[in-house]
C-alpha cells in the first residue's frame, strides 16, 4: 500500500479536522452546562 505523502497528509488533516469539530460540538452540547455550573456566576 503505497500512498503519495501529500495525498495521505491531506486525508489525515481532513479527518483530524472533522474529529476536532465533532469533539468541539459535543463539548458545547454536553459539557457547557457543567462547565458553567462549576465556573460560572
What is this structure's pTM? Answer: 0.50
According to the model, what pLDDT value does residue 38 have? Answer: 60
For the chain, the structural domain boundaries read 5-34
Written as nine digits, the cell of 39 is 465556573
According to the model, what pLDDT value does residue 37 have? Answer: 58
Place of cell 488533516: 13
According to the model, what pLDDT value does residue 39 have? Answer: 57
According to the model, what pLDDT value does residue 5 have? Answer: 83
The number of helix segments (H) and strand segments (E) in the chain equals: 2, 0
According to the model, what pLDDT value does residue 34 have? Answer: 62
- Residues 1-41 have pLDDT tens digits of 566 788 889 999 999 999 998 888 877 766 566 655 565 55
Separation CA 41–CA 33 (nearest Å): 12
Amino acid at each position: 500500500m503505497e500512498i503519495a505523502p501529500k495525498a495521505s497528509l491531506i486525508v489525515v488533516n481532513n479527518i483530524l479536522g472533522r474529529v476536532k469539530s465533532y469533539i468541539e460540538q459535543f463539548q458545547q452540547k454536553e459539557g457547557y452546562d457543567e462547565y458553567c455550573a462549576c465556573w460560572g456566576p
